[in-house]
Amino acid sequence: MVFQLVLLFLSSLPHIAFSAHCTTTTATKTFQKYITLPTQQASIAWTFHPHNATLDLVFFGYSPTIHPTTANDLSSITTFDVLSDSSGTHHRDTNTLRLVHGIINAISWGILLPIGAVLARYLRHIQVLSPAWFYAHASIQLLAFFLGTTGFAIGIRLGDLSPGVQYELHRKLGLAAFCLGGLQTLALLFRPKTTNKFRKYWKSYHHFVGYACVVLGVVNVFQGFEVMGASRSYAKLSYCLGLSTLVGVCVALEVNSWVVFCRKSKEEKMKREGLIGGSDKGSGIHS
C-alpha cells in the first residue's frame, strides 16, 4: 500500500506542534516508522495495523494552514510504503536526476561550448594548425550539444516529476540555448565553400548565433546553481574558478591577437609607402 502525500493540502490534517526533528513519539502515542519530507523541515510518522488495515499517521512541522505556493512549498511531496522500510524513493530519484542534470549541463553548456568557441576564434588564424583547428572546434561543439541535449531531456523529465514547481527563467534560458545550439548544428550542413558569395553572410550568422548560445548557456548554468540551492557551494566555486581561468586565457589571447594585428597593419602600411621591401619581413628598413 503506497501513499503519496502532497502537503499543499495539509489543512485537512490536525494541528501538530512544531518540530524540526524527525521522531516517532508524541505526547500521547509512539509510532513505528517515520520519514523526513524533502522541504520545510517536516516529517511524518506512522503505524500500520495489518490485522484491520488501518493506519495511524501524524505530521510534524509547520502549521498546516494556508501557505505560499513557492517552489519550496510545492515540492513538499514524498512517497512511502507503509508495509516496508522503503521511503522517499520519489524524492531520492528526483535528487539524483537533478544532480545528473546539473553536472551534464555545467560540463556541456558551461565548459565545453565556451572552449570550442575559443579554439575557433584564436586558432583559425594560425596557418600551421589548419584544418586541425576546425575539426577540433566542430568535434568539441558537437560533443557539447549532444551532452547538452541529454541534460535538456533530463530537465524536461524533472519538470514532469515535479508538478506545480516552475523555474520559469531557468526553463526559458535552457530552451533558448538548446534552440540556438540546434541551429548551429544544422548550420554545418549548409556551410558554403570559401569561394561562395554567401560565405560572409553564413559566417556572420554562425558567429552571432554561436556567441549568443555560449552566453545563454553560461548564464543558465549560474541560474541552475540558484535553482538547486547551491549558490554558495564548492561546486559553484569550482565552476567559477574554471570559467575565470578560461576568461583569463581569452584575455591574454585577445591582447596577443591585437598586438599581432597592429604590427602587421604597420608593416603593410610601410610596404605601401615603400619604406620596407616586400621580402624584408620588417627587418630591412630603408632610410
Query: 33 falls in which pLDDT band (50, 70, 90)?
Result: confident
Q: What is the pLDDT of residues 244-272, one digit of tens each?
A: 999 999 999 999 888 888 888 888 878 77
Kindly state the average pLDDT of the residues 225-246.
Answer: 92
pLDDT at 70: 65
Q: Is 67 annotated as a binding residue?
A: no
| pLDDT, position 135 | 93
Q: Which residues make up the CATH 1.20.120.1770 domain(s) of the chain?
A: 91-267
pLDDT over 90 at 140, yes or no = yes
Residues near 33 by beta carbon (within 8 Å), at least 6 away in sequence: 24, 45, 46, 47, 82, 85, 87
**What is the rounded CA–CA span in Å between residue 146 and residue 178?**
10
Is 206 within any annotated ligand binding site?
yes
Sign (positive or negative) of CA dihedral 12, 18, 21, 26: negative
pLDDT of residue 176: 96
Tell which residue, 81, 35, 80, 79, has the closest CA to residue 59: 35
Region 91-267: CATH code: 1.20.120.1770
**129: which 3 cell numbers?**
594548425
Does the predicted TM-score (pTM) go above 0.85? no
Confidence grade of residue 139 (pLDDT, cut at 50, 70, 90): very high
